[in-house]
Amino acid sequence: MESNNKFLDNYKKKMAQPQQAGETPKDTNLRFEQKSGFVKPDDKDTTMPVKKTSSKRKMWMSITGGAVALVAIVIVLLILFNSGIEVIDLTGWTENDARLWANDNGVILQIEQEYNDDIEAGKIISQSVPKGTRVKKGELIKVVVSLGHDLSVTLPLPDFMSMTKEEIEAWAAENYMARVRITTEHSDEVPVGHVIRFEINDDTVIDEVSRNTPIYIVVSKGPEDETALDVVVPNFKEMAIGECYVFANENGLVLQVEEEYDDFVPAGAIISQSIKPEEKVKKGTEITLVVSKGKMITVPDFAGYSKERATAVAGELGIPITIKERYSSAPPNTFISQSIKAGTEYKQGDILELTYSIDNKIVLPSFVGQTRDAIEIWAKELNDQGANITIKVTNTKSNSPKGTILHQDKANTVISIKETISITVSLGKVVYVPDFVAPAGSGYDVAITRDKALAMCEELNIVPIFKEENKSGRLPGEIWHQSIEAGKEITEGSTIVLKYVPANVKVTVPNFVGMTKAEILNGKYNRSFDIRYVEGTEYVEGYEGKVYEQSLVANTKAAAGSIITLTIGPTIGEGIEVGE
């Protein structure tokens, strides 16, 4: 696969190179335009003898054309081989089936759920990647799976007493009511099909109900007919099991259902009934129905089957299977195991998992120059598939970035699935810890603040961890403690804890205009500000050696330790011009 990718990369680079003088233009769309050089000849006899092409030239042209066609086929195959997995339409699939497809094709399925009144619970509503799109293995596809009806939805409570049974059933179906139960009983006053009474077992219901509210409705069957107390037993074999239960409920019969395998009667169909059809029985009579479980399926031993043969056999028996592959001591494609023991009874709904060997050998590439994470991720992926690769690490200091693999004892070779690979990993470049802590009593011109420390750490490629903590005698924002002593040898990327005084103090900016450096130093203004001096370029009368401009406005508030630039007036001398 790597060699194929290199070939395509080189081919694309070659096609992208500028055209050299004398070269044939390379148009990636293979479109050519050429002006015709044809000139209509005079109407005279210009018959010329036809030059015959020799057999050797014909053979050479045939070979050349065949070679060009072969190269084109190879390029097309390489493009198709690296084009990834074509995404299919997963909408309407169950979540389990979609996961099986994703596992088989090496893509990652991210499941999101939402309520939906149109799509059955557990089935996919939509997908993030359209059908027909090609994706690489390991890429993510989001699918939204239906939770079915949202039973928390509320709706107005209808007037059941004015509705018929058919109207109630239609209302319940239209609004996806999950717990509406309709029973019937005789009544001399209420017409057939109309409501006698209803109950809602929820004290919180006033004028609205949710889809999950339990509602019990009793509908009239009209006056009781004494002559109809006997029930004529139907031929249950001609009915679905659901219809049998409905008939029994409406006619006061008690059904007992037993199941057994039958080689001839389809699953779910009724094999026999304990009371013959057309017989009359009293209400409350118990009738036993024997329902077919279909033909009993015995799980075969797949040990001698290839993956293709196993799929065919399982399909003939109606057993859904999933095939997994793992590294093992067996040669490639060798059968390893099956999740349901051979010879046992297959139960409807179970999925049989067959495991085959990927290989007992692994191609080990070179990871030198890559990070330690790269080889460990590679090993984990293989170990998740049954391999037992161990990475043994030795660390050493070097100028290579921290974590870089410097040496690998085995590389670009074939190894067994149980192998130890020794690597040498760089600890990073050696640096020396600077002194972040200034002498006590220093001003901001000497003290190291949090911002200064951060810049120093970035330059040395070490990681500072700052902690706010008050310290008597130290300036706001000043570093007063470091976890590693100054001058100690560490590697790039190491961490150091620096404690500093919280910089939450505001001070008033003095008016430095007219002051000399000596006056500013004696005034200990460097205990409040980080003072920077700049010598002016133009002479200002009366301000020789004195401040005539400052970067922060006098008498305003600024954070302690703020940088303030003071411009000092130059003395008259060479290079200074005095204005008239």
Q: Where do the domains of the chain lie, and which CATH numbers do they carry?
A: 85-146 (3.30.10.20), 154-220 (3.30.10.20), 226-292 (3.30.10.20), 302-357 (3.30.10.20), 361-428 (3.30.10.20), 505-580 (3.30.10.20)
pLDDT for 79 beyond 70: no
Single pTM value for the model = 0.39
The residues pairing with 371 across neighbouring beta strands, listed in sequence order, are 404
Structure tokens at 76: 């097309």
User: How far lies 429's CA from each of 303, 406, 455, 456, 483, in Å?
Assistant: 56, 13, 18, 16, 20
pLDDT for 130 beyond 70: yes
pLDDT at 60 (0 to 100): 57
pLDDT at 398 (0 to 100): 86
pLDDT at 2 (0 to 100): 45
pLDDT for 24 beyond 80: no
Considering the chain, what percentage of its residues have pLDDT values greater than 70? Answer: 84
Mean pLDDT of 256-282: 90
Mean pLDDT, the chain, integer: 85
pLDDT at 58 (0 to 100): 57
Task: List, for residues 445-501, the tens digit of each pLDDT value.
Answer: 899 999 899 999 999 989 999 999 999 999 999 999 999 999 999 988 899 999 999
> Residue 577 — very low, low, confident or very high, per pLDDT cuts 50/70/90?
low
pLDDT at 171 (0 to 100): 92
pLDDT at 68 (0 to 100): 66
pLDDT at 547 (0 to 100): 95
pLDDT for 282 beyond 50: yes
pLDDT at 51 (0 to 100): 46
How many CB atoms within 10 Å of residue 572?
10
CB proximity list for 146: less than 8 A, separation 6 or greater:
113, 114, 115, 116, 119, 120, 121, 122, 123, 124, 125
pLDDT at 519 (0 to 100): 93
Q: Give the span between the Cα atoms of 276 and 235, in whole angstroms.
A: 7
pLDDT for 126 beyond 60: yes
Considering the chain, what percentage of its residues have pLDDT values greater than 90? Answer: 60
Task: List, for residues 524-574, the tens digit of each pLDDT value.
Answer: 999 999 999 999 988 888 899 999 999 999 999 998 989 999 999 998 764
Start-to-end CA distance of the chain, whole Å, equals 82
pLDDT for 361 beyond 90: yes
pLDDT for 59 beyond 90: no
Q: Give the span between the Cα atoms of 34 and 66, in whole angstroms.
A: 26
> Residue 406 — very low, low, confident or very high, per pLDDT cuts 50/70/90?
very high
